[in-house]
């Protein structure tokens, strides 16, 4: 989505609270600003309240908001969740590199379940999410959530992936893009993932880069993807070595499932994420 974009950062100066108040007032007046990048801004409690109050204002027209690395914690999530329920224009939200934890994710998911919430893309990279966080997200995805893109990269969620896989199998799951880059996934979960990919009717892009699949795990995935079922169009994964069996399976997948593209390049800097914001 192309839109007017402003990158704004508020640091640790003494009048930060007043700056947030002035900035929030300006957002209510500006009817052309659709994308706002506040990465690495210093949010005090009052700053979060003012921003969320602005998001709830009927004249706020923001569609994309990045709060990456803003020192947000679980304590901020109640205000954010409330704002997401009221604001029906915001469709993209990045909360990467904030220590939200499972408790913060639970609160966010409570807001995202409301039918009034129109959020489509949520980035939760490096948010210290664990097994319980996956349970809350799984429950959300199995409801009538508007969420279609979710980035959970660099979270230690390996033991909670079974919950996500079960959600992907459900016919009412609307998720189209899932990022699991660097989530310490092991070959032990490959069979469950393979089953989910075959069953899913919505997932189109799956990023599994920087996970230690091993030869056995890759073989399991490729054998499942030979079946011309499911909705997957793009798969990204790490492949350290390519054996004769893997090369044969890759060829079979290409022939039997021609709409699927498998990207084995592990250099994240050379490609863009399905959840990238301001492009």
Q: Which of 136-145, 219-228, 270-279 shows the highest mean pLDDT?
A: 136-145
Nearest alpha-carbon partner for 45 in 19, 71, 64, 7: 71
271 has a pLDDT exceeding 80: no
Asked if residue 268 has pLDDT above 50, the reply is: no
Domains (range + CATH), the chain: 31-175 (3.80.10.10), 201-269 (no CATH)
Residue 252 pLDDT exceeds 90: yes
Report pLDDT digits (tens) over 41-87.
Answer: 887 777 888 899 999 998 889 999 999 999 999 999 999 999 999 99
Q: What's the average model confidence in pLDDT over 175-202?
A: 92
- Please tell me the number of Cα atoms within 13 Å of 267 on its side-chain side: 3
DSSP state of 122: E
* φ, ψ dihedrals at 205, nearest 5°: -130, 130
pLDDT band at 2 (very low <50, low <70, confident <90, very high): low
Q: Residue range 129-148: average pLDDT? A: 96
Phi, psi of 262 (to 5 degrees): -110, 120
Q: How many residues does the chain have?
A: 279
Instruction: Determine contact, residues 213/189, Cβ cutoff 8 Å.
Output: no
- pLDDT at residue 76, as a whole number: 94
- Please tell me the distance from the alpha carbon of residue 221 to that of residue 219, in angstroms, as a whole number: 5
């Amino acid at each position: 989505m192309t839109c007017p974009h402003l990158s704004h950062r508020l640091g640790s100066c003494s009048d930060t609270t007043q700056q947030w108040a002035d900035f929030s007032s300006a957002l209510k007046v500006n009817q052309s600003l659709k994308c706002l990048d506040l990465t690495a801004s210093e949010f005090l409690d009052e700053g979060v309240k003012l921003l969320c109050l602005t998001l709830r204002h009927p004249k706020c027209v923001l569609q994309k908001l990045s709060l990456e690395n803003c020192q947000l914690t679980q304590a901020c999530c109640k205000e954010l969740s409330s704002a997401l329920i009221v604001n029906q224009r915001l469709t993209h939200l990045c909360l990467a590199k904030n220590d939200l934890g499972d408790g913060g994710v639970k609160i966010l998911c409570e807001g995202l379940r409301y039918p009034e919430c129109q959020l489509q893309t949520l980035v939760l990279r490096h948010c210290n999410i664990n097994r319980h966080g996956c349970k809350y997200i799984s429950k959300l995805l199995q409801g009538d959530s508007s969420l279609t893109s979710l980035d959970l990269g660099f979270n230690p969620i390996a033991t909670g992936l079974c919950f996500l896989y079960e959600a992907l199998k459900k016919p009412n799951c609307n998720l189209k893009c899932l990022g699991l880059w660097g989530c310490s996934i092991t070959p032990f979960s490959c069979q469950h993932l393979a089953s989910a990919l075959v069953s899913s009717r919505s997932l189109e892009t799956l990023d599994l880069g920087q996970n230690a699949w091993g030869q056995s795990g890759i073989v399991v995935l490729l054998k499942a993807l030979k079946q011309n079922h499911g909705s997957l169009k793009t798969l990204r994964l790490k492949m350290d070595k390519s054996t004769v069996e893997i090369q044969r399976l890759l060829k079979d997948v290409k022939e039997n499932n021609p709409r699927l593209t498998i990207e084995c390049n592990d250099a994240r800097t050379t490609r863009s994420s399905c959840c990238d914001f301001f492009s």
